[in-house]
């Protein structure tokens, strides 16, 4: 949910973890197209549409996991992810910025469906071992990092880079210090 740099990495991670159905959600069409290019099987502008499809494809149960990678996370985003997962499913929250507001979740579902809400920082990785592993995957072509860069900027163009970031037109914009 949210196809920026973090979300497109979640798409790649889900595929590596063996997911056969990966539903990407982003209000921006370009981001939805990029998600498909990276292997997402479906993409939608809203969580309602995505959750409907997840239920249709799983005999009414819902998604195994919903990963919240929205730029500025609001409590309702976490509530939508929680509502979209199946019994025993996990809603993962990686995005920041929601403040301390209460998350609207169904407490009956929390207990009876044994759902989980999981925070995640840097993919819960061990940088010492995992970054080496990720670089090896990149060298083998199994981790698509170059394709995540929509545009590069010189240092002089950094203002344009910020404008483009706010306009949401890059998957990732990268400043080169040549």
Ligand X SMILES: NC(=O)c1ccc[n+]([C@@H]2O[C@H](COP(=O)([O-])OP(=O)(O)OC[C@H]3O[C@@H](n4cnc5c(N)ncnc54)[C@H](O)[C@@H]3O)[C@@H](O)[C@H]2O)c1
- Write out the residues near ligand X by the rule CB under 6 A: 1-7, 25-28, 31, 69-71, 73, 77, 94-97, 120-122, 168
> Residue 162 contacts by C-beta under 8 Å, 6 or more apart in sequence?
none
Shortest distance, position 26 Cβ to ligand X, whole Å: 4
Nearer to ligand X, 71 or 104 (CB): 71
Task: Tell me whether residue 60 or residue 97 sits nearer to ligand X (CB atom).
Answer: 97
Nearest distance from residue 112's CB to ligand X, in Å?
27
Instruction: Find the residue with minimal CB distance to ligand X.
Output: 4
CB crowding 60-82: b at 16 or more within 10 Å, else e: eebbbbbbbbbeebbeebbbbbb
Q: Tell the smallest beta-carbon distance from residue 29 to ligand X (Å).
A: 10
Taking the complex as a whole, the smallest distance from the CB of residue 111 to ligand X amounts, in Å, to 27
User: Nearer to ligand X by C-beta: 114 or 118?
Assistant: 118
Cβ closest to ligand X, residue 76 vs residue 87: 76
């Amino acid at each position: 949910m949210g196809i920026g740099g973090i979300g497109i990495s979640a798409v790649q991670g889900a595929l590596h973890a063996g997911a056969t159905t990966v539903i990407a959600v982003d209000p921006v069409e370009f981001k939805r197209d990029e998600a498909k290019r990276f292997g997402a099987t479906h993409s939608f502008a809203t969580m309602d549409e995505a959750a409907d499809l997840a239920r249709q494809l799983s005999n009414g149960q819902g998604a195994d996991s919903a990963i919240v990678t929205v730029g500025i996370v609001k409590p309702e985003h976490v509530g939508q992810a929680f509502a979209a997962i199946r019994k025993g499913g996990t809603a993962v929250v990686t995005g920041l910025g929601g403040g301390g507001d209460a998350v609207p979740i169904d407490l009956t579902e929390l207990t009876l469906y044994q759902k989980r809400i999981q925070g995640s920082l840097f993919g819960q990785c061990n940088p010492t071992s995992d970054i080496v592993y990720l670089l090896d995957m990149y060298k083998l072509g199994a981790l698509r990092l170059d394709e995540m860069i929509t545009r590069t900027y010189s240092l002089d163009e950094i203002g344009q880079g910020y404008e483009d970031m706010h306009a949401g037109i890059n998957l990732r914009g990268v400043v080169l210090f040549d």
